[in-house]
Each structure stands twice: as structure tokens, then as C-alpha cells.
Structure 1
Amino acid sequence: MGSSASKPEQSGYQWKASGTPGVSMPVLDSLQSSPETDASRAKLVEQQIHARVAEELKKLQKR
């Protein structure tokens, strides 16, 4: 009921490594600025798997 949010707004993921990264900074920047999430990647992979399974089933049914 207050005028401020109960949790502070997070501005995104901040890279916090114990040492230097094994990839270049442009790659890290690209990953951090990507709108893609783990959930969206998982959904895409699942769709690709379903498509592949359907394709293989069609091949087997033709035999």
C-alpha cells in the first residue's frame, strides 16, 4: 500500500566472475543484451525436437 515497490527493480544480469572470462567482452555483451531467456530457448528446443520426431515418424510410417 506504499508508494514504492516492495522489491528494488533489477536492471538486468551483471557478469560477476572470479577471474577473466574465457570469452571476449563483445560476446559477453551480446549475451547480456539478448532478449532471449532460458525459458524461450527451452521452448524453441522443444519445438525443434517435436518437429524432428514427427518427421522421423512419417519416415517410419512410409516403410
Structure 2
Amino acid sequence: MNRQELEQRLRSELAIPFYNAKIAERDYSEAEFQEMKAQLQADIEQYAHDYVNESNANG
């Protein structure tokens, strides 16, 4: 899949409609997509966790 298809699948599967990936214009395999998706999902979860902890710390 190309970069545009990869971005569309990430937006759809992770329910982040305005996400724009900063990735190279080339073809990506399904394995690369799954790796990127897992990393992005982990980053989102970590961001949410950090945000909640920061909000709780600031009262």
C-alpha cells in the first residue's frame, strides 16, 4: 500500500480522522502497517495516560 492508503487505514482503524502521518512516500507492506499501527496506538495510550496523570497532579 502507498503512503496515502496507509494514512487512510490508520485514520479508519484507530478512529483518528484528522491524523496525517509524517512518513516517506513509498510502498508499505501489511507487516509494516501493523507495526506502525501498534506503535501509534501505544503512543496515543501513553499520551492519554500522561495527560490524566498531569491533570491529577495539578488538581
TM-score normalised over the length of structure 2:
0.45
TM-score (norm 1): 0.43
Q: Which has the higher contact order (CA 8 A, sep 6+)?
A: 2
